[in-house]
Amino acid sequence: MTKLAYINTNNVKEAIELPRLVVSNEKVASAPSQTVLMLGAILMVLQILDGILTGIGMSLFGTSAEGNTFLRFLMEHMGYVPALVVCKSFAVAVVAFIVSFSRHISWVNYALSGMIAIYTCLAIIPWTYILAPQLF
């Protein structure tokens, strides 16, 4: 035997508090700040520069010179040029995504600045140091 339950709908409105849309005349930032755009552009240029330096390094030394094991795996299976294009394109897209949502995240300036510093120290400077004697 099935039991049916009935709800008195007269009291439902009082029991459920629905969220309300608040409309404000305050101006909402619609675009990232100039600082965030500049930091994002610098990080994108560093990604591209790292791709170029890594490509030169791979042509001179082979994939065994790559320190990133995941990237080395991709290079060994796809070839170093396609692997670099895929990875660096993805990295640039991630930076663009971060920059586009920067108005919602207060600490993006610090994160991008830190990423620029770390990337310069751990990717650009080492490849430049390794490749400079080979190229000049």
**Model's pTM, two decimal places?**
0.74
pLDDT recorded at residue 24 = 47
Complete DSSP assignment for 7-31: --TTTHHHH-----PPP--SPPP-S
Q: Could you state, in chain order, the average pLDDT of each consecutive group of 10 residues for the chain (136 residues)?
A: 58 54 53 92 97 95 93 96 97 95 88 96 95 87
Cα distances (Å, whole numbers) of residue 98 to 34, 79, 83, 104 = 14, 29, 23, 10
pLDDT of residue 1: 56
Tokens of 80: 């170093």
Q: Report pLDDT for 104.
A: 85
Q: Distance between CA atoms of 100 and 48, rounded to whole angstroms?
A: 19
Report how far residue 81's alpha carbon sits from residue 63's, in angstroms, rounded to the nearest whole number.
Answer: 11
CA 57 – CA 8 distance, rounded (Å): 74
